[in-house]
Structure 1
Amino acid sequence: MSTPTTTPTTVGAPTTAAPAAGTTPAPASRFSAGLATTPGRLALATVVAVAACLLLAVTGFLAGNGQAAALQDAQRDAAQLVGTQELRNDLVSADATATNAFLVGGLEPTEARERYETSLSEAAEAVPALAATARGDGEADDLATVADSVQRYAGLVESARANNRQGFPVGAAYLDQASAALRDEVLPTLDRVAVSTSERVDADMGTVSLSQLLLLLVLLALVALAAVQLWLARRTHRVLNTGLAAASVALLVGGLVATAAVVGGNGVARSVASGPYAATVATSQALSLATDAKSMESFTLIKRGSGAEFEESYQASMDQATELLTTAEAADGAGSDPLTLLEEYDAAHGAIRELDDSSRWEEAVAAATATTDDSAGAAFAAFSDAAHADVEATSEDAVDRLGSAATTARIAAWVALVLGVAGAVAAAAGMNVRLKEYR
């Protein structure tokens, strides 16, 4: 009887199974095997170089275009805010003119009537224009409410005028109702719209700054392309590759253009926000407060001895207006004519108060309604004209600078895109020359 033989096995020895004939290696294995060869590494380097160029193209385009859009939004919203405040100023100016004319009694002066109608008509024309460009939630509805309230205000003023011309005391009651409607309904609504618009301007400025974060990807693209060139020079012992050199120049120029535009645009936005835009907002608000104070001066006299609360309101508004004009002077970096002129008007107001407090009411009314060169009315008119001129100049400066920066950023975006794509083509061509040497 024969005994079967067994082949001894070594305990712990590994067993290797040969791949079956006809099987395909796994993708990962093929990729690893490809990277083990110089052509495979050259192909990978080509992909990295092209991707770096396209990364700069896309990133530069997005950064420049995104910042341009944010700057244009800031430009539009800043103009909307100025328009809203100018509407408020027109309404307050109309009220101040109507109130001051009421002191004359009978038929008000033609000049005062024309100023009132001009201010009110400008306000009526501004409302639909602002509503058409409103972007915030509910702003268009708020402005529609303002339009209705302004019509109601105008009707009450006409009732006050009609009664005042006939010497009826009820005219003062209509004037009180008109002024109360303006201050309780219209002005708070406009202030709410102004706050909403101001918040959008701040958000727009923040978006302008965020565009700078994309520049980190631009730097990454430049580093990646430099790494590919360094590796290729060491691998092939050739310092210059024409295609990669052209791609490097394209990326460097595109990166510098995009960086300069985006960083410069952020600088413009910040300087505008703290300069002409801040001066515009502060001066416009000061003008509104001072004009409201002018109304309080007239109401104090209309009440004949019982208008202490209106004088207190006058002082509070003047203090705020003075503070705002000081802020505007600091932001604009120039001497503030409106501040000096407002102080001159305040001094004239003090003389009116002295007359009224010394029981010389008729003289006080005459001083308040006078239009001579040395009168309080002339002093206030000079302040108002100077403030309007400052608002127009600083707002135009802010809008122009934001618009110019937006145009520059948009041009830079296209430059980065074109140079990035051109760099990708040049890099692929340059690497292809080296790949051909192994075919």
Structure 2
Amino acid sequence: MTTTASPAAPPAPTAAGGAPTAPGAPATAPPAHPTSGWGSTPRGLRTWGALAAVVTALTGLFGVLAVSSQSLAVDDARDAAAQLVGLQDARNQLVAADAAATTAFLVGGLEPVELRTRYDAAVDAGAQALTSLAATGPDGADGLAAVSADLTRYTGLVEQARANNRQGFPVASAYLEEASAVLRDDVVPALDALVAAEQQQVDDEIATARFAAPMVVAVAVLALVVLALVQVWVARRTRRTFNVGLVAATVAVVLVGAVGGAVLGGAGARAAQVRDDAYRATVQTSQAFALVNDARSQEAFTLIRRGSGASYEETFRANVADARTALERDGVRLDGSLVDRLDAWVAAHDEVRQRDDDGDWDGAVAFVTSDDPGAPPALFDALSGALAAAVDAGGQQVADGLRPAGAWLGWALLAVGGAGAVLAWTGLRPRREEYR
């Protein structure tokens, strides 16, 4: 009897590595993500967590650096503005001294004590201001040294003019004109050049101060983008939508950007407002002061030249027009009465010119040197005093207004950024622990 062989049984399934598995046991599914290597979830949690912590900390650090940068810029702007006002004051004192010297020259012989005293006081104040400015502003020390040398030459020529005028020598007027030319052609332009440099620095520093706020906001936005990417990766790998630590880090970055941007933006806007209002008006009023004092010198020269002073009268009119423009530009004024005072003085000057043009030179000289409250000297003193007071008040407003954000802000932003960095790192610790 023949027997039929049974068919061979199918091979038993094997597990990974070749080991046979028990019949009926389910096969193990491969993991969704690797648990080791560069692309593993544990390494990703460490890498992305570190990135989130570093980005958050850097946002806070950038915040404190922005506060420090803005504070430095505002302080430099305030110092440059003070230097500028000081330079203008020195220039104005010297121009006022020249106005006093030329007016006193009209009297002949011994000058009036009041005008002589005013000249000496203005020259001394101008010289002292130059010395002080050279010490506080080393960048312009060489230029100020040249100005001081020209000032010495100017005062020497004035003394020669006085000495000859006392003796009635006609050459006295030539010395006085040469002295005024030194002041107008050498001293004043040199000081104006230094003023322009300081003005440019003020503008540059305020622009830097205003740049701090948008930079903080931009860095915060970039940090938020990075944190969003980290949270998306963590959510996909851990199957959890939100991570408390990363959310806290995000809130910290938002606070740095919002608070830092708002406070720094406010400080920058305040500095720009001071520049556009008080600072600008102070510069213009100081310029007007110099112009009217130079105009007074021109007024005296129209009489000193006895009928041949037409060019001085033209300069007088040009200076007055420029002074009025400075006081009225865009409606910016520190004192609304300044133009009225200017007009009153010019009206008195017109009377001086009328007398001189009518052949009454003695009457014109008497009126331009009179003590009468309605005469040019009293009206000019009222104008000059009001301009000087406005410049002083404006300079104080600039110093008070150019204030940076407090140092507390920088430390607060750094603390918030640091706390957010710690939370970003520790918030992922439970997820990393799952793979140990």
TM-score if structure 2 supplies the norm length? 0.86
SS of the equivalent of 1:218 reads helix
- How far is the alpha carbon of 1:263 from its aligned partner? 1.6
Q: Which residue of 2 aligns with 1:7?
A: none
Judge conservation of contact 2:220–2:254 (CA < 8 Å) in 1.
no
SS of the equivalent of 2:332 reads helix
Letter matched to residue 314 of structure 2: E
Q: Which residue of 1 aligns with 2:10?
A: none
- Is 1:347 matched with 2:347? yes
Q: Which residue of 1 aligns with 2:264?
A: 262
The 5 A counterparts of 1:24-423 are: 34=37, 36-134=39-137, 136=139, 139-215=140-216, 216-229=218-231, 231-232=233-234, 236=238, 241-327=243-329, 330-332=331-333, 336-402=336-402, 404=403, 406-408=404-406, 410-423=407-420
- How far is the alpha carbon of 1:238 from its aligned partner? 5.2
SS of the equivalent of 1:119 reads helix
Judge conservation of contact 1:60–1:416 (CA < 8 Å) in 2.
yes
| Structure 2: gaps spanning 5 or more residues | 1-33
- How far is the alpha carbon of 1:70 from its aligned partner? 1.5
- How far is the alpha carbon of 1:312 from its aligned partner? 0.4
Q: 1:189 to 1:413 in 2, by over 3 A?
A: same
- How far is the alpha carbon of 1:236 from its aligned partner? 4.4
Quote the Cα distance in structure 1 between the aligned partners of 2:172 and 2:205: 48
| Structure 1: gaps spanning 5 or more residues | 1-30
* CA-based RMSD: 2.2
Quote the Cα distance in structure 1 between the aligned partners of 2:236 and 2:266: 38
Quote the Cα distance in structure 2 between the aligned partners of 1:226 and 1:390: 55
Judge conservation of contact 2:52–2:230 (CA < 8 Å) in 1.
yes
Quote the Cα distance in structure 1 between the aligned partners of 2:385 and 2:433: 77
Q: Per-residue CA shift, 1:1-43, capped at 9, x if unaligned?
A: xxxxxxxxxxxxxxxxxxxxxxxxxxxxxx9964643322321
Letter matched to residue 258 of structure 2: L
Identity of aligned residues (%): 44
Larger Rg: 2
Q: Does 241-250 or 302-311 show the bigger shift? A: 241-250
Q: Per-residue CA shift, 1:169-220, capped at 9, x if unaligned?
A: 2222221121121112211211221222222222223322333452211221
Quote the Cα distance in structure 2 between the aligned partners of 1:135 and 1:198: 16
Letter matched to residue 167 of structure 1: G
Q: 1:32 to 1:94 in 2, by over 3 A?
A: farther
Judge conservation of contact 1:150–1:186 (CA < 8 Å) in 2.
yes
Quote the Cα distance in structure 1 between the aligned partners of 2:303 and 2:430: 92
Letter matched to residue 168 of structure 1: F
Quote the Cα distance in structure 2 between the aligned partners of 1:102 and 1:208: 50
Judge conservation of contact 1:56–1:217 (CA < 8 Å) in 2.
yes
2:431 to 416, 421, 434: 434
Quote the Cα distance in structure 2 between the aligned partners of 1:366 and 1:242: 89
Q: Which residue of 2 aligns with 1:5?
A: none
Judge conservation of contact 2:36–2:42 (CA < 8 Å) in 1.
no
Q: 1:226 to 1:166 in 2, by over 3 A?
A: same
Quote the Cα distance in structure 1 between the aligned partners of 2:367 and 2:430: 92
* Count of equivalent residues: 402
Q: Which residue of 1 aligns with 2:21?
A: none
Judge conservation of contact 2:263–2:405 (CA < 8 Å) in 1.
no
Quote the Cα distance in structure 2 between the aligned partners of 1:50 and 1:98: 72
Judge conservation of contact 1:124–1:147 (CA < 8 Å) in 2.
yes
Quote the Cα distance in structure 2 between the aligned partners of 1:335 and 1:388: 11
Q: Per-residue CA shift, 1:40-72, capped at 9, x if unaligned?
A: 232122122102212212321222222222211
- How far is the alpha carbon of 1:258 from its aligned partner? 1.6
Q: 1:32 to 1:119 in 2, by over 3 A?
A: farther
- How far is the alpha carbon of 1:299 from its aligned partner? 0.6
Letter matched to residue 42 of structure 1: L
